[in-house]
Amino acid sequence: MNCDVLIATGAQPDTAHGPADLEAAYNLPYLTKGQGQVTAVVDAYDNPNALSDVAFYASHFGLPTPNVLKYNQTGQQSNYPQGNTGWGTEEDLDIEMMVAGCPNCKILLVEANDNSNTNLEAAVAEAAKLGATVISNSYSGGGSNHSAYNIPGVTILASAGDGGYGIADPADIPTVVSVGGTVLTQGGGTRGWTETVWQDTGSGCAGSTDAKPKWEKAKWTPGCSNRVANDVSAVAANTVVYDTYGAGGLITVAGTSISSPLVGSIFGLAGNSTQQSGGKTFWEAKHHQFLFDITSGSNGQCSPAYLCNGEVGYDGPTGWGTPNGIGAF
């Protein structure tokens, strides 16, 4: 599996989206919700600075002191795997997006021994065993065991990938909330923010082994008899994180690694994660009023066109839209 984070070289972190931007753009009740909720991110290898980095991030941006605990894939708070700076940046990004969206959540970082499916799936199981009811996975590849991402009472999310049109494991698994990416810009419209499809987000029609869930109505997904991704989306570009292990402090990043844990944090705010069934909540028409419909941009060439282009209503790259508060969660 490959992690889904990109470091923007030459970018200025002080102009990138910080927590206040994310909270304002998506109308998040970040200070009044999330108490008692346990969320998790699963990553590979160790970042020895992860806990000190997230503490600095929260302090720097004026957030409450975060409650973040680090475990290895067998549930120990010691005996961590070998370090890896690339995945280390991913880990900082994941837990910092969880803190940005839900600073009152208890957040678990579970480090797999490596980036193999076997060990990442063991870490997912361990996160659930440790009490997480929201688990975000910011990686993509192939060969996943579908049952590993189907845990009753747990909402499991995955990033859609950063390679443009096309979808991979585990985001294409029917029991997983598939999270696409957008470009978020301040200004414009009554909202005060505009969004368009991030050109590198994954999306598309899954293969024959990924059956269409009953809640993914065929009337909204013509031309694909299998699972369609994505379900929902959020910003995946120009966002600031703090990383002293793989980088030199505040950096600007991109990737659906931003959007998956951020959306996971909103499940934490809503407090309904034990009652979800994959991405079903976003496909229910009553929830569409609580999502910003993203209608422009593209991530490639495809047929039918909605699988790779932002359109009114459902489209592949952004799903049913981006969060407008917690009502759709």
pLDDT digits (tens, 9 = 90+) for 204-213: 999 999 999 9
- What mean pLDDT is reported for the chain? 96
Q: Can you tell me the mean pLDDT for 151-180?
A: 98
Distance CA 238, CA 254 (A): 6
Tell me the pLDDT tens digit for each residue of 269-307. Answer: 999 999 999 999 999 999 999 999 999 999 999 999 999
Question: Is residue 317 classed exposed, middle or buried when 0-12, 13-18 and 19+ CB atoms within 10 A define those classes?
Answer: buried
Distance CA 195, CA 217 (A): 25
DSSP annotation of 235 reads E
Distance CA 329, CA 318 (A): 16
What stretch of H or E contains 184?
A: strand 177-186
Is the pLDDT confidence value at 20 over 80?
yes
pLDDT for res 201: 98
Tell me the pLDDT tens digit for each residue of 220-232. Answer: 999 999 999 999 9
pLDDT for res 18: 97
Tell me the pLDDT tens digit for each residue of 46-91. Answer: 999 999 999 999 999 999 999 999 999 999 999 999 999 999 999 9
pLDDT for res 9: 67
pLDDT band at 10 (very low <50, low <70, confident <90, very high): low
DSSP strand pairing (232-235 vs 106-112):
unpaired
The angle subtended at Cα 30 by Cα 263 and Cα 71, nearest 5°, is 60
Lowest mean pLDDT: which of 6-15, 16-25, 195-204, 287-296? 6-15
Residue 310, φ and ψ in degrees, nearest 5: -65, 130
**Residue linked to tokens 């209503």:** 313
The token duo for 257 is 């690694």
pLDDT band at 13 (very low <50, low <70, confident <90, very high): confident
Residues found in the chain: 329
Distance CA 55, CA 210 (A): 39
| 8 A C-beta contact, residue 41 and residue 136 | yes
* Helix locations, the chain, DSSP H: 19-25, 50-60, 85-101, 117-129, 256-270, 280-283
The token duo for 140 is 């993509």
Nearest Cα to 259, choosing from 85, 113, 136, 110? 136
pLDDT for res 40: 98
Amino acid at 128: A
Is the Cα torsion angle 61, 68, 71, 163 positive or negative in sign?
negative
Residue 323, φ and ψ in degrees, nearest 5: -65, 135
To 10 degrees, what angle do helices 256-270 and 85-101 make?
Answer: 30
Is the pLDDT confidence value at 128 over 80?
yes
Q: Can you tell me the mean pLDDT for 15-44?
A: 97
Residue 269, φ and ψ in degrees, nearest 5: -60, -40
The token duo for 313 is 């209503």
CB atoms within 10 A of CB 249: 12
Q: In the chain, what are the domains?
A: 2-323 (3.40.50.200)
Distance CA 122, CA 239 (A): 30
Write down the pTM of the prediction: 0.97
Is the pLDDT confidence value at 11 over 90?
no
